Structure 1
Amino acid sequence: MMPRPDARSGAGQPPPGASPEDAAAYKSLSLVANPDGSITRINQPPTLPANPDPESDPTAVALSKDVPLNPARNTSIRLFRPTAPPAAGKLPLIIYFHGGGFILLSAATLFFHKSSSRLAARLPAVVASVEYRLAPEHRLPAAYDDAMDAINWAKTEAIAAAAGGCAAAADPWLKELADFSRIFLMGSSAGGNMVYHAALRAVDLDLRPAEIVGLIMNEAFFGGVGRTESEVEHNDDVLVPSHVTDLLWSLALPAGADRGHVYCDAAATAGDERIRRLPASMVAGYTGDPLVDRQRELAKLLEERGVKVTRRFVDGGCHAIELFEKEYSDKLFDDVKDFVCSVGGDRMLGKAAANL
């Protein structure tokens, strides 16, 4: 696996008048501030093309292809399927949101592409990795809006698959393999934040015949005006020290909003009655991550509202380590598989009981 990025070194150019902390963060993230408020992203990780052809790489554990999502927003989905799916039965559909602090990276970024491929093969599952719009060109809630497009896309595909030849053709991979009654929203870092906010919106939607049955929030990126103990203790983290996360939030949140905003601080959503209607949720993280206290607070908030929560906090590690060290990715995928099977098992028992 490739080395973990180091936010202590980089090249970038802050806007005029930036604070020393913001200037350091621009340089660490290799961002150039443009006069119109946009940014130029330099020295970014490599990307990989989709590979739908099983003959082009006999060693590939999963096939992939890009499908349009919302052409007006220039969004898309990179779809992954195992090269050797089980002979019988259909697979859960994982709608996945990548990390990057809402301002960086892509579904095609090398480590996200490889991670999604391994996830599809290991569970196994069909994985729909969403290429959503980035801030500051598209500030929040743009990413949440794109997440909802992906959820509604799944509903449309489910309707098409159920209708057979009587409606618009479903994607052949989805029609063959996807169980639309077992959809999971999964995201890492900023993607974990997206899972939470998209799921809150989705509880008020009629998605039939599709159904979201579980949420997987890995190292979810949340913040707040004050500092938590873990943010203070691990402020020398090479990827997400506080001056870097502060800049990410300043670029991602609506103009004029501070880190007390509901998009940033999960505690600010505590009064939202929709929380109690969320499906079973897995909240995962590492004790060496500066953001771990925020993730624990999220798990506690969900539990207090009656949500069935599976906590998976691993001793040690650091933010995004599973993308760069196989030991941690194997552990995460095993935990995800256990969670998906547990939710699926509950549902199958319920279906059996209904038929008695």
Structure 2
Amino acid sequence: MADEPSSPNPAASIDLYKFILPNPDGSLNRATPLFPIVPPTLTPPAESFRTKSNSNTPQLVLSKDIPLNPETKTFLRLFKPHPLPPNPHLALILYFHGGGFVLFSAASKPYHDTCSEMALSLRAIIVSVDYRLAPEHPLPSAFDDAVEAIAWARSQASDVDGRDPWLKDAVDFSKCFLMGSSAGGTMVYHAGVRVSDVDLSPLMIRGLIFNQPYFGGVQRTQSELKLIDDQVLPLVTSDMMWGHALPKGVDLDHEYCNPTVRGGDRRMRRLPKCLVRGNGGDPLLDRQREFAALLQSRGVHVVSKFDEGGCHAVELFDPGMAQVLYDIIGDFIECCCE
């Protein structure tokens, strides 16, 4: 008997819709057994470096949580390669996770693992932002939290004596990047334009990294119609998440959702270098291409990386595709820091 063909999509069994359950009060019961919450790793296992104690090459990643805003209950999860080499001068990457603004956390296993892998692969300090979720906190709450995280990074750059110990002797604050995946990519855009005319020195944001940013619009694109029943992000699920995230009474052409409305935010011309990453199996591909073209038309230096294969959030499920993404990001960081 011939072997049954394997699923071409490693995330084929995922249906986010069934995990987003509304409560009578309008909040959500986020039943996500596929994406458990994991604790940070503050210290390395005792046996990890018995044979490599003199090595300066990072072998694993440590992580810890620190508060961002106790009133809003937001926090940051820091990821640090271990051990650090002498005088590391690592880049600082502020990372915003995906989930359609309604799901997941910086502590959700796929995003915790992704940030750990990026810290090791890119030799960088990753700061993953646990922001407020809709519908309990509709947009622009998540954008506000992103700006607050940037303000935190600026305060860390300015206050040498009060700097977090993990950053104090490790980070070069002139090499800061904003990175987001899916909805996190949308946050990078809105936070980026908000701070584009703000003096953040001594913090310097060198570049923005958009990994399959999550955009929408009233007029359906060809890729949305072609992949209307996509196994990872079907159109009905995407519309439902936007319905939870957007302010009441607005449609998908609201500026929070569609960055191309009325030619885009005039402040985008001030954005630093941008990397826009997309995959051919993502229903949002056409919107990502349109977004990259809009940035470029406004004079922004854009590096576009669009592949034929892959699905939405493929790096969470396919280690090979994840490494391709990390290599692209590494090249972009190197280019921005030359």
Q: Same fold (TM over 0.5)?
A: yes
Identity of aligned residues (%): 48
Structure-to-structure mapping, 1:44-83, within 5 angstroms: 44=33, 45-55=35-45, 58=48, 61-83=60-82
Cross-structure match for 1:39: 28
Hey, what's the Cα distance between the residues in 2 that align with 1:216 and 1:260? Answer: 23
SS of corresponding position for 2:77: strand
Hey, what's the Cα distance between the residues in 1 that align with 2:252 and 2:151? Answer: 29
Hey, what's the Cα distance between the residues in 2 that align with 1:242 and 1:91? Answer: 40
CA contact (8 A) 2:87 2:170 kept: no
Structure-to-structure mapping, 1:98-247, within 5 angstroms: 98-161=97-160, 164=161, 169-247=162-240
Residue of 10, 13, 31 corresponding to 1:6:
13
**AA matched with 2:41:** N
**AA matched with 1:139:** P
Deviation at 1:61, TM superposition (A): 1.7
Deviation at 1:43, TM superposition (A): 3.3
Question: Greater shift after overlay, 47-56 or 325-334?
Answer: 47-56
Hey, what's the Cα distance between the residues in 1 that align with 2:223 and 2:316? Answer: 21
Q: Does 1:263 align with 2:256?
A: yes
SS of corresponding position for 1:184: strand
Cross-structure match for 1:22: none
SS of corresponding position for 2:147: helix
CA contact (8 A) 2:259 2:265 kept: no
SS of corresponding position for 1:260: coil
SS of corresponding position for 1:328: helix
Q: Deviations over 1:274-302 (max 9, x none)?
A: 11100000000101110000100110000
Deviation at 1:227, TM superposition (A): 0.9
Structure 1 segments of 4 or more deviating over 4 A?
Answer: none
Q: Deviations over 1:39-97 (max 9, x none)?
A: 11113411210011023573962100001000010000000010133333401100000
SS of corresponding position for 2:202: coil
Hey, what's the Cα distance between the residues in 1 that align with 2:166 and 2:215? Answer: 34
Cross-structure match for 2:268: 275
CA contact (8 A) 1:7 1:240 kept: no
Hey, what's the Cα distance between the residues in 1 that align with 2:184 and 2:174? Answer: 22
Hey, what's the Cα distance between the residues in 2 that align with 1:288 and 1:132? Answer: 28
Cross-structure match for 1:295: 288
Question: Greater shift after overlay, 44-53 or 81-90?
Answer: 81-90
Deviation at 1:205, TM superposition (A): 1.5
Cross-structure match for 1:350: none
CA contact (8 A) 1:280 1:343 kept: yes
Q: Which runs of 5+ in 1 are unaligned?
A: 11-27, 346-356
Q: Does 1:87 align with 2:80?
A: no
Deviation at 1:237, TM superposition (A): 1.2
Normalization by structure 2: what TM-score?
0.91
Q: Does 1:285 align with 2:278?
A: yes
CA contact (8 A) 1:91 1:125 kept: yes
Hey, what's the Cα distance between the residues in 2 that align with 1:318 and 1:6? Answer: 13
SS of corresponding position for 1:282: strand
Hey, what's the Cα distance between the residues in 2 that align with 1:308 and 1:275? Answer: 11
SS of corresponding position for 1:66: strand
Hey, what's the Cα distance between the residues in 1 that align with 2:159 and 2:31? Answer: 41
Q: Which runs of 5+ in 2 are unaligned?
A: 1-9, 50-58
Cross-structure match for 2:54: none
More helix, by proportion: 1
